[in-house]
């Protein structure tokens, strides 16, 4: 099957089962979203939402976070793991936003990636969610699904998968597809016990039957 035919099948099925996907992180401000994405490394959106609900109720502004005791922030975010490093990054991000960006999250990827704890994936997620700038962030779900569906090779790293997805799919579909890949991987094509029986993509799946 040609790759172009495969992508049409994938997009059609995703539109069928996931017509209106979206980000599952909850937030009330641009900086709140940036912090939430940074905190989401190696944990789930559900856990992040529970923690940030507590965090931002106690410290509702950037200035309040700037003046907060780092040990208290570390204790609040402890359920997410890596709390010592994440709390340092959080404080540093807040300081950078206040000092260099007038309290606003920058719209520029290079500036975003200079913020502590913000890498390629986090910056891309911020760009597509806050500013609707097309990108194709690759998290663990996108990474897994892309390889199972033969859109990337097993040996490809995250950046290589991202490049291939951006080349394969139309730019105007990147944001929606990013969310569809995540939801498909999170609720259907799970790492353990994927729901293969009724999946219309099993004919494309390298994992099916193994």
Catalytic residues: 121, 139
CA pair distance 72, 70, nearest whole angstrom: 5
CA pair distance 77, 132, nearest whole angstrom: 28
Q: What is the 3-state secondary structure (H, E, C) of 96-122?
A: HHHHHCCCCCCCCHHHHHCCCCCCHHH
Residue among 205, 200, 99, 95 nearest 148 (CA):
205
Rounded to 10 degrees, the C-alpha dihedral 18/170/2/209 comes to -30
Specify whether the CB–CB gap between 38 and 123 falls below 8 A: no
**What is the 8-class DSSP label of residue 199?**
-
CA pair distance 103, 25, nearest whole angstrom: 21
Residues 6 or more apart from 30 whose CB is under 8 A from it?
104, 105, 130
Q: Kindly report the length of the chain.
A: 210
- Strand, coil or helix: 142: helix
How far does CA 29 lie from the centroid of its chain? 17
């Amino acid at each position: 099957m040609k790759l172009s035919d495969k992508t049409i099948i994938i997009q059609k099925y995703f539109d069928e089962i996931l017509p209106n996907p979206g980000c599952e992180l909850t937030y009330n401000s641009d900086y709140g979203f940036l912090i939430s994405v940074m905190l989401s490394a190696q944990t789930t959106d559900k856990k992040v939402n529970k923690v940030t609900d507590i965090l931002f109720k106690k410290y509702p502004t950037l200035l309040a976070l700037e003046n907060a005791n780092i040990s208290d922030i570390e204790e609040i975010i402890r359920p997410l793991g890596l709390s010592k490093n994440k709390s340092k990054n959080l404080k540093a991000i807040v300081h950078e936003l206040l000092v260099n960006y007038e309290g606003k999250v920058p719209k520029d990827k290079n500036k975003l990636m200079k913020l502590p704890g913000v890498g390629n994936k986090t910056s891309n997620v911020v760009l597509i969610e806050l500013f609707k700038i097309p990108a194709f962030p690759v998290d663990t779900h996108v990474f897994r699904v892309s390889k199972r569906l033969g859109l990337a090779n097993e040996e490809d790293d995250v950046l290589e998968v991202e490049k291939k997805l951006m080349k394969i799919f139309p730019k105007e579909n990147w944001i929606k597809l990013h969310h569809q890949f995540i939801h498909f991987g999170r609720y259907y094509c799970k790492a353990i016990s994927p729901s293969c029986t009724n999946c219309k993509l099993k004919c494309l799946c390298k994992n099916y039957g193994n």
